[in-house]
Structure 1
Amino acid sequence: MKQGILYAFAAYFAWGMLPLYWKLFQSMGAWEILAHRIVWSILFVAIIIQVTKRWRAMWGSVSGGKMVAALATCSLLISANWLIYIWAVNNNQVMQTSLGYYMNPLFTVLLGVIFLREKMNLAQWAALILAACGVLFITVQYGEFPWIALSLALTFAFYGLAKKVVKMEAMIGLAWETLFVAPIALGYLILLQANGTETATALAWWQMLLLALAGVATAMPLYWFAQAAKRLPLSIVGFIQYVSPTITLLTAVFLFGEPFTTTHLISFSCIWSALVIFTVSSMRKKPATAPLKPEVAIKKQA
């Protein structure tokens, strides 16, 4: 239990601190950062698979067109999620990323109801309606649709839905997902280099070193989460997962100086209240000792 809690906090703390990491490369475009993240991720994961001698398990994990289509869908959705997240961070929209990941569990459940015919009780429906009211309030008050928050929540929710089909171990799943888009990412970086428009070479040496560690920053929280999920009940993981967007929100307000107005307070309060209602309802519905399966419930952040 203690090991599981440490692993869970490590994973969600790392995901919550990602805005500070991506801010280091603010001079680069979001597409270029994404391409580097994909390329360095596939290299790091390839090293892990080589060290653990799991190439045979990786190649044998895919069978049939349905699995290939699901993996391709996962790849596109997580790449879109990463791109939106990186763009938002480097365009001073960190608070919207926090809002998006607060909403994500609710969207995930809603997609389960729509596509997997899962059942929700009255309290869970009330939580979804309350969260929708929070989104509607901030939209009406600012006259601007919170597309970043909703895009992050939806892409990750649909990614989780696609993972239901894949059901693959975390590191091997990440290898396939990055492998699908790695040729595109590498080709894009080569094109930038050929056109003389790439900006990575203008970074300081320490920034280049940290950019090369993007693969580690992507894969290690997944590993930590997988280890936590093996050891902890669903209820505990459910509470700890909100560490990440909370850290992001505090970072946005106190480090990046983004305004937190009364409108934000009311909107976020609706989301927070919805999460409390939903979490308590879910804990009553499911046994507290039921472990969370990594291949089903694993979360990958920007």
Structure 2
Amino acid sequence: MNVPTPQQPADSRVRAGLLYGLAAYGLWGILPIYFKWLKAVPSIDIVAHRIVWSLIVLIILVSLARAWDQIRSAVRSRKAMAMLFLTALLIGTNWLLYVYAINSGHILAGSLGYYLNPLANILLGRFILKERLTRLQWTAVAIAAGGIAVLAMGALGTLWISLTLCFSFATYGLLRKIIHVESLAGLTIETALLFPLALGWLLVGGSEGRPMFGTNEQETMLLMAAGIVSTVPLLCFTAAARRLAYSTVGMLQFIAPTSQFLLAVAVYDEPFTTSHAIAFGCIWTALVLYVSSMIRDRRLQAQQECSELAES
């Protein structure tokens, strides 16, 4: 009979967090394809549809998961509601700017924002949550920062897009990590807070007096799909953020902007410069170093815990 060891519950939690993180960032990595299909629709209208249809999807999920008690508990907490109001504003701003970046031909600026985001997560994890980094992990952060600095110097005209995307989502993730509200309940409340603004915008005709459900059948179906497209990766992200060290979440996040970067260059013909090549090399070198350090530390910790168990 196997005797459970002290690290098993933590290991299971970390494995689940890694799977959620990979799912979230993998889906976000191919999201530009979806928004490019809707390039004829103004960005603010797309975001309004994301909010409206997301709330419908979330209500169904909450009912299936029987999570209404979690929502009622959060609503009764003034502190939780104040934090969720702030996170709703942050994610709404992030969504709007991201759609604008894609449909205005600035996918690379968006990918730079999400390349910056992991560094912001790692630093927030270190200085706000007091998570410790090894010397090798600090080296990885420095290499990645150097690569991003090179990339930023070649994209000063759109750097404001990158920085706003970075800080809005990094702050959103940090706040969602420290709020004691489950991912599904929290996202449902955030979406409900934004819902009146989104629905009101669509009812008055949106930004160009467009039909509320689009101008053709394909556009209508794509807009209705915004609920699933938006909620699934975000639920995976918040589930990952609650299970993993925030610095680890930061390193996983390189997956999405790398996919977006490749789409921008290979599919949508945005220019690939020398600065992009340098940044790409630096960032993936940093990722390899960080992950190697994380794996080594976990092995050492497991060996130490097994030794302590054997001695006891």
In the other structure, the counterpart of 1:278 is 290
In the other structure, the counterpart of 1:108 is 121
In the other structure, the counterpart of 1:169 is 182
Query: How many angstroms does 1:126 deviate by?
Result: 2.9
Match of 2:160 among 122, 126, 147: 147
Equivalent position SS for 1:61: helix
Alignment of 1:106-255 (within 5 A): 106-144=119-157, 146-192=159-205, 197-198=209-210, 200-223=212-235, 241-255=253-267
TM-score normalised by the chain length of structure 2: 0.78
Sort the Cα spacing of 1:63 and 1:280 in 2 relative to 1 into closer, same or farther, 3 A.
farther
Cα distance between partner residues in 1 of 2:74 and 2:47: 26
Query: How many angstroms does 1:131 deviate by?
Result: 2.8
Equivalent position SS for 2:229: helix
TM-score normalised by the chain length of structure 1: 0.81
Is the Cα–Cα contact under 8 Å of residues 171 and 222 in structure 1 kept in the other structure? no
In the other structure, the counterpart of 2:39 is 26
Sort the Cα spacing of 1:174 and 1:235 in 2 relative to 1 into closer, same or farther, 3 A.
closer
In the other structure, the counterpart of 1:67 is 80
Sort the Cα spacing of 1:19 and 1:127 in 2 relative to 1 into closer, same or farther, 3 A.
same
236-245 or 258-267, which moves further after superposition?
236-245
Give the number of the structure whose alpha-carbon radius of gyration is greater.
2
CA RMSD in angstroms comes to: 3.4
Query: How many angstroms does 1:260 deviate by?
Result: 0.9
Unaligned 5+ runs, structure 1: 291-302
Code of the aligned partner of 1:52: A
Cα distance between partner residues in 2 of 1:215 and 1:106: 29
Sort the Cα spacing of 1:118 and 1:7 in 2 relative to 1 into closer, same or farther, 3 A.
closer
Code of the aligned partner of 1:99: L
Equivalent position SS for 1:60: helix
Percent identity between matched residues is 38
Query: How many angstroms does 1:262 deviate by?
Result: 1.1
Code of the aligned partner of 2:287: L
Query: How many angstroms does 1:87 deviate by?
Result: 0.7
Query: How many angstroms does 1:2 deviate by?
Result: 10
Deviations for 1:97-128, whole angstroms, at most 9, x for unmatched residues?
Answer: 22322332221111123323333333333333
Alignment of 1:286-297 (within 5 A): 286=298
Code of the aligned partner of 1:41: S
230-239 or 115-124, which moves further after superposition?
230-239
Code of the aligned partner of 1:175: T
Equivalent position SS for 2:272: coil
Is the Cα–Cα contact under 8 Å of residues 25 and 252 in structure 2 kept in the other structure? yes
Query: How many angstroms does 1:160 deviate by?
Result: 1.3
